[in-house]
Amino acid sequence: MRGWVIVLSVAVPVEAAATLALPGAVGVAIDGGSALPLAAVLLVGALAGAFATLAGPAVAADTTVGLRLRLLRRVLDRGPVPGGPATGDLTARLVGSAADAGGALPSRITAATALLTSLGAVLGLALLSPWLAAAFFAGVLPGVVLIRLFLRDAAQAFTRYQQVQSELAARLTGALAGLRSIHAAGAREAETARVLAPLPRLAEAGHALWQTQRRTVWQATLLVALVELSVLSTAGLQLSNGTLRPGELAAAAGWAALGLGFFEQVEALAGVAHARAGRDRVAELLALPAPPPGGRDLPAGPGELTLIGVSVEGLLGPLDLTVPGGRTVALVGRSGSGKSLLAAVAGGLRAPDSGLVLVDGVPLTELTPGQRRLAVGYAFERPVLVGATVGEALEGAAATETRAARADGFLARMPLGDDTPTTELRLSGGELQRLGLARLLAQRPRVMILDDATSSLDLATEHQVTEALALATAGRTRLVVAHRPGAAARADLVAWLDGGRLRALAPHTTLVKDPEYRAALGPALAAAPAVVPAPRSAS
Amino acid sequence: MTRSPGWTLLRDQLTTTRPALVRVLVWSAVEALPSLLSGLLIAAATDQGFLAGRPAVGFAWLAAFAAAVGVRAYAARAAFPYVAAVVEPLRDALVRRVVRSALGRAEPTGDGPAEVARLTEQVESARQLTATLLRTLRSVGITVLAAVLGLAVLAPVTLPLVLPPLLLGGLLFARLLGPLVDRQRAVVLADERVAAEAGLAFAGVRDITACGAQARVERSVGAAVLAQGAAVRALGRAAALRTLTVAIGGRLPLLLVVAAAPWLVDHRQLTTGQLLGVAAYLVQQLEPAVRSLAGMVGSWLLELAVVLDRLATLPDPPDRPASGQEPTSGQEVRVHGLHHTHGAAAEPVFSALDLALAPGEHLAVVGPSGAGKSTLAALLAGLVPPQQGTVTVGGAAPHTLPDQARAGLVALLPQEAYLFTGTVGENLRWLRPDATDRQLTEAAELLGASELLDRLGGPAAELPDPATLSAGERQLLALVRTYLSPAPVVVLDEATCHLDAPAEAVAEAAFAVRPGTLVVIAHRIGSALRADRVLLLDAGRGLTARHGDLQVLSPLYRELVGHWLGATLPQPDGLSIVPGP
């Protein structure tokens, strides 16, 4: 890394110096001097250019890779943080911003060098004759104004263009979500036309954008020519009165062109700004705190889960809860009562604002990452499979585990079985949940937290999964977020949550006499057909 | 490289805007006027003016040069609308292509919005690159030609010193192009892999933490990150070689001419003014042109090639049959010997499935998740052809019918309701454009959607963003729409899953009294109770019977129904629910 930085910071200025020296060397040779300086300048320039081209991407790539790896580790160490940057934002920062930031050093070196080259060229003109430099500046100043005007106009036209563009993208996204309906209705042509409806407006905005550019470009062309001509005329005049030699006129023309290269540096400066913005966006994430990993091991124990004085400001607790080793506690409550939040806190997915979460007497935060994995595991309502293949994403779940989760059937129907790439999976919510359960079984933690983990299964499958799961997890501690009465009835104890507080901890059979408790389980009752019209078939 | 699908796509599209393209080229030739004349005019200004002690003549020649530059500026201005006339249609064509291909797929694949964003970006960069190349590449190319031409007129004696290195540089550049394209493509692919893997990992941070899979994921995403870095460095190495072509093609001619200059001037082959003119051609025209050709233009071309290839290899929408055997006899639905697998090595979803539905019959399809219920729905609606066996509706195989005829025969309503930006009425009339307002409100009433329709402001109201409606509201509108469809066969594929049970019962009851055949892929067991017959799909087999008979015939069905009853809370007031007969 450092080696390439040195190569880059030597090669770029050397190449620039060679470029700068070129008109002078040409002038010397034309005026009858040796061609050797020119040969030297050209050779050095070519070599320096090659090294700069080699070192630039190497420096950028090293920086980018380093930033990406740090960012990746930070995000994974931090874990899920509510209110943190969204997935898309994180990905954009790792992919886009880190790449932009990688270009920081090369773009700074390049921009600084280019600026110096332009200055050097003007200096060269001034050394030949102050009049030449004056002629140069006479033309350059209006150019600065022109560039400012362009940036303003272009920004407006571009905003309009982007608006239409995103309207079109939104229509396409909507149509893609309804693709099956569109095919079923035989409406592919019609819907294609509907998505494409904003296209004429996009073209209109595009043409407006070209208009802006057109104005600037031809004015800039004139301006550049004006500068060159005013330098050339001045040089010609001095040639005729003998104060300038022919080779010096050639040098003047060359330096005038190099000096005008200043205008192209608007782009290089934009690159520097771009890289700085990227670096800031990455740094923002790297500055986010991540909890330090603990160093303790899990002592032998039954898997007792203890929550002491746990609270999340305004949402949960403070509450105490103990799930005895090997027992099942169901979390019941209306939506918004804090069930899922408590489930997240209990397994260390979310740090409580105060209080402690212990497994077999050891705070979760003090365990090593490996030991934590053995202490608590989760199954979710909508599991996300992470891994290149199904097998990897299931943490190496064996046949017994996929069978227990009732995932063996549809896994067998996949084209490549365990090696099926996760990107090619088209799973229903129920299938996904069963894979989430298989993954949890493969992890074999002492405490299992099931957060609505079977809600998408049809009742028959849920029944089968529940039975198989009960067998497969016998002896393990379980905390179950329950939406259906059956799950609450099967638990040893029900923790009834109301407004973030623990309202009661008792068996379902005791609580069920309370109408308010039944109301808390209400949505589940709506799932049962309370009102069923008589079947139409003759009975 | 010239045979790549991307270039074919570009060539085909550019052919349609040929007049504009020709005008761009013509104006480019005009733009090259100063490049052609610069050396000649500077030589004349020097030899006849400034060095001859007649500065006025020198100024006159420079004024001629100024005029040439004015013409160039005018030409640059005039060429712009034609650049736009080439590039904007190109973008339109690419957007159309992307949309057609995306909507032509059988199933929604990819990552939805992210994929759309990526495609938008690729189309946009194809547009930008083509425009930049049109403006730069042509002017650079013509500048090289003009400079060589100017040299030939001004000082033909220098041509043997200029042309060989120029050609050598060109050959070297062409030789290096292939590996460069490959490496550029490798970088693009590596970028995409980093984005995909990181996106997946960040979407699953909760799950990664919950499974303690940080180390595994960090290794796997880290590998993609490192591979991307290696690809960028490899591209840099190839690009460094490319800079040599600039040294040879752009700078060597200058060195040769300058080295030979004293001899040429001494032997009166070249005047001082001509030498200055030659230097102007070489330093200010040829070298910058070669440099940008090999540098920026080279990488833009590569980028364009890669982007166009990706857009060109988007799958074409499948051809739909233009005509097929029209349904002949009634609306009877017949399924015979149906067999379906998801892949060659996979177990069949179902095999040897038979089914016959009389016109007007109401069938519920039940079975565990993954039993192939949605696949059956797609086969009945003709969205996919049967792998083995036959599906006919009224004697015609739906998948062989033209789109319109197929949709007019079977209306399939999937789980995810599709609504679009437009009026509520346009959305409801999607399957039956000639439905009257009265028919709309009647259908809404029957399906329990009146309240929703009123709240939205009636059929004439705009539905600015369908995403603002809840999933249940969208399903309700889609149900009204499907109810209005003229199709004699309706297939509801879990189309009521976001409605609550009473609303589902109302909707299904409305469809049951609608004339025609009804197939309901059941989300809840209640759907089976309301049907004439029930098809139980399980482990590749199908069993069709009345609800009561099925309870006797199938232990699984018994378990399914029994479990559903068992799952309900014992009701304190003793409300009992009695299934079927």
Distance from CA of B497 to the nearest CA of A (A): 10
Residue B173 contacts A where some CB pair is shorter than 8 Å: no
Same-domain pairing of B401 and B280: no
Instruction: Characterize A448-467 residue by residue with b for buried, 16 or more Cβ atoms within 10 angstroms of its Cβ, and e for exposed.
Output: bbbbbbbbbbbbbbbbbbbe
pLDDT category of residue A166 using cuts at 50, 70 and 90? confident
Give the side-chain half-sphere CA count within 13 A for A441: 26
DSSP secondary structure string for all residues of B176-223: HHHHHHHHHHHHHHHHHHHHHHHHHHHHTHHHHHHHT-HHHHHHHHHH
Q: What is the greatest pairwise CA distance in chain B? A: 122
The 10s digit of each residue's pLDDT in B465-511 is: 777 787 788 899 999 999 999 999 999 998 888 787 788 888 988 99
Between chains, do B196 and A178 touch, taking CB under 8 Å as contact? no
* Eight-class DSSP state of B1: -
- Alpha helices by DSSP H, listed for A287-393, are 339-346, 369-375, 390-393
Distance from CA of A318 to the nearest CA of B (A): 24
pLDDT given at position A291: 82
Contact between residue A492 and residue A329 where contact means Cβ atoms under 8 Å apart: yes
- Has residue B156 been placed in a domain? yes
Domain that holds residue B97: 5-312
- Has residue B322 been placed in a domain? no
Peptide bond into B318 cis (omega under 30): no
The 10s digit of each residue's pLDDT in A425-438 is: 767 677 888 899 99
Kindly report the average pLDDT of chain A as a whole number.
84
Between chains, do B69 and A484 touch, taking CB under 8 Å as contact? no
B98, B3, B29: which is closest to B90 by C-alpha? B98
Contact between residue B151 and residue B159 where contact means Cβ atoms under 8 Å apart: yes
Q: Which residues of A touch B34 (CB under 8 A)?
A: 225
Q: Which residue has the higher pLDDT, B299 or B163?
A: B163
CA B177 to centroid of chain Cα atoms:
27
Q: What is the distance between the alpha carbons of residues A107 and A64, in angstroms, rounded to a whole number?
A: 14
- How are beta strands B533-538 and B517-521 bridged, if at all? unpaired
- Residues 6 or more apart whose CB falls under 8 angstroms from that of A170 comprise none
Among the partner residues A22, A73, A176, nearest to B218 by beta-carbon distance: A73
Between chains, do B416 and A90 touch, taking CB under 8 Å as contact? no
- How are beta strands B410-413 and B489-493 bridged, if at all? parallel
Distance from CA of A131 to the nearest CA of B (A): 17
pLDDT category of residue B1 using cuts at 50, 70 and 90? very low
pLDDT given at position B242: 84
Between chains, do B236 and A183 touch, taking CB under 8 Å as contact? no
- Has residue B579 been placed in a domain? no
Geometric angle at alpha carbon A259, from A253 and A264, rounded to 5°: 125
Q: Which residues of B touch A345 (CB under 8 A)?
A: none
Same-domain pairing of B286 and B345: no
pLDDT category of residue A266 using cuts at 50, 70 and 90? low
Give me the amino acid identity at A314. G
Instruction: Give contacts of B 313-332 with A, CB under 8 A.
Output: 317, 320
The 10s digit of each residue's pLDDT in B61-116 is: 999 988 988 898 888 889 889 999 999 999 999 999 888 888 887 766 555 666 77
Q: At what angle do helices A2-30 and A104-128 cross, to 10 degrees?
A: 20
Between chains, do A54 and B236 touch, taking CB under 8 Å as contact? yes
Helix, strand, or coil (residue A519): helix
- Residues 6 or more apart whose CB falls under 8 angstroms from that of B50 comprise A236, A237, A239, A240, B58
* Eight-class DSSP state of A96: I
Task: Output the domain CATH number for residue B558.
Answer: 3.40.50.300
Asked if the interface predicted TM-score (ipTM) of this complex is over 0.95, the answer is no
Same-domain pairing of B353 and B254: no
For residue B276, is pLDDT > 80? yes
Q: Which CATH number fits domain A305-524: 1.10.1740.10, 3.30.70.380, 3.40.50.300, 3.20.20.80?
A: 3.40.50.300
Between chains, do B247 and A45 touch, taking CB under 8 Å as contact? yes
Q: Could you say which of B265, B282, B312 is where a domain stops?
A: B312
Q: What chain B residue is nearest to A96 in terms of C-alpha separation?
A: B195
Question: What percent of chain A is modeled with pLDDT above 90?
Answer: 31
The 10s digit of each residue's pLDDT in A55-109 is: 999 999 999 999 999 999 999 988 887 767 777 778 878 888 888 888 888 888 8
The 10s digit of each residue's pLDDT in B131-148 is: 888 877 777 888 888 899
DSSP secondary structure string for all residues of B534-556: EEEEETBEEEEE-HHHHHHH-HH
Among the partner residues A75, A376, A528, nearest to B205 by beta-carbon distance: A75
First to last CA, chain A: 82
**Pairs of CB atoms within 8 A across A/B:** 515
Residue linked to tokens 């993609």: B224
Same-domain pairing of B290 and B433: no
Task: Output the domain CATH number for residue B153.
Answer: 1.20.1560.10
pLDDT given at position B492: 93
How confident is the model over A332-349, as a mean pLDDT?
Answer: 85
Same-domain pairing of B106 and B207: yes
Q: What is the distance between the alpha carbons of residues B315 and B357, in angstroms, rounded to a whole number?
A: 37
Among the partner residues A42, A68, A185, nearest to B251 by beta-carbon distance: A42
pLDDT given at position B581: 35
pLDDT given at position B18: 92
pLDDT category of residue A526 using cuts at 50, 70 and 90? very low
- Has residue B319 been placed in a domain? no
Between chains, do A225 and B73 touch, taking CB under 8 Å as contact? yes
Same-domain pairing of B385 and B236: no
Q: What is the distance between the alpha carbons of residues B535 and B543, in angstroms, rounded to a whole number?
A: 5
Q: Which residues of B touch A39 (CB under 8 A)?
A: 255, 259
Residue B43 contacts A where some CB pair is shorter than 8 Å: no
pLDDT given at position B86: 93
Whole-number Cα distances in Å, B122 to A70, A118, A304, B125, B295: 29, 35, 54, 5, 22
B286, B262, B246, B253: which is closest to B39 by C-alpha? B286
pLDDT given at position B416: 82
Same-domain pairing of B347 and B216: no
Same-domain pairing of B306 and B347: no
pLDDT category of residue A202 using cuts at 50, 70 and 90? very high
Whole-number Cα distances in Å, B7 to B19, B179, B398: 19, 17, 39
pLDDT given at position A314: 81
Same-domain pairing of B87 and B180: yes
Among the partner residues B51, B103, B116, nearest to A192 by beta-carbon distance: B103
Same-domain pairing of B204 and B338: no
Interface test with B, best of A31, A244, A413 (most B CBs within 10 A): A413
pLDDT category of residue A7 using cuts at 50, 70 and 90? very high
Distance from CA of A428 to the nearest CA of B (A): 8
For residue A472, is pLDDT > 50? yes
Instruction: Give contacts of B 272-291 with A, CB under 8 A.
Output: 272-273, 275-276, 279-280, 283-284, 288
For residue B574, is pLDDT > 60? no
Q: Which residues of A touch B201 (CB under 8 A)?
A: 72, 76, 386
* Eight-class DSSP state of B395: T
- Has residue B320 been placed in a domain? no
pLDDT given at position B7: 85
Instruction: Give contacts of B 180-209 with A, CB under 8 A.
Output: 191, 194-196, 198-209
The 10s digit of each residue's pLDDT in A272-325 is: 777 888 888 889 889 988 888 888 999 998 999 999 999 998 888 799 999 999
For residue B345, is pLDDT > 70? no
How confident is the model over A469-475, as a mean pLDDT?
Answer: 83
Q: What chain B residue is nearest to A463 in terms of C-alpha separation?
A: B563
Q: Which residues of B touch A58 (CB under 8 A)?
A: 232-233, 236
Q: What chain A residue is nearest to B190 in terms of C-alpha separation?
A: A95
Distance from CA of B438 to the nearest CA of A (A): 23
B39, B33, B35, B31: which is closest to B73 by C-alpha? B31
Contact between residue A458 and residue B523 where contact means Cβ atoms under 8 Å apart: yes
Among the partner residues B54, B502, B567, nearest to A459 by beta-carbon distance: B567
Residue B417 contacts A where some CB pair is shorter than 8 Å: yes
For residue B39, is pLDDT > 70? yes
The 10s digit of each residue's pLDDT in A134-146 is: 988 887 777 666 6
pLDDT given at position A267: 63
Q: What chain B residue is nearest to A487 in terms of C-alpha separation?
A: B567
- The number of folded domains in chain B is 2
Residue B7 contacts A where some CB pair is shorter than 8 Å: no
Distance from CA of A208 to the nearest CA of B (A): 10
Between chains, do B228 and A65 touch, taking CB under 8 Å as contact? yes
Most confident residue range from A212-226, B13-27, B365-379: B13-27
DSSP secondary structure string for all residues of A194-221: HHHTTHHHHHHHHHHHHHHHHHHHHHHH
pLDDT given at position A432: 84
Same-domain pairing of B27 and B147: yes
Q: What is the distance between the alpha carbons of residues A375 and B392, in angstroms, rounded to a whole number?
A: 56
Q: What is the distance between the alpha carbons of residues B476 and B481, in angstroms, rounded to a whole number?
A: 9
pLDDT category of residue B446 using cuts at 50, 70 and 90? very high
Distance from CA of B126 to the nearest CA of A (A): 14
Between chains, do A177 and B416 touch, taking CB under 8 Å as contact? yes
Q: Which helix (H) or strand (E) holds B336?
A: strand B333-340
Residue linked to tokens 């007007």: B360
For residue A486, is pLDDT > 80? no
Whole-number Cα distances in Å, B147 to B35, B41, B66, B259, B277: 6, 13, 17, 20, 11
Same-domain pairing of B304 and B355: no
* E strands present in A367-506: 376-379, 447-451, 477-481, 493-498, 501-506
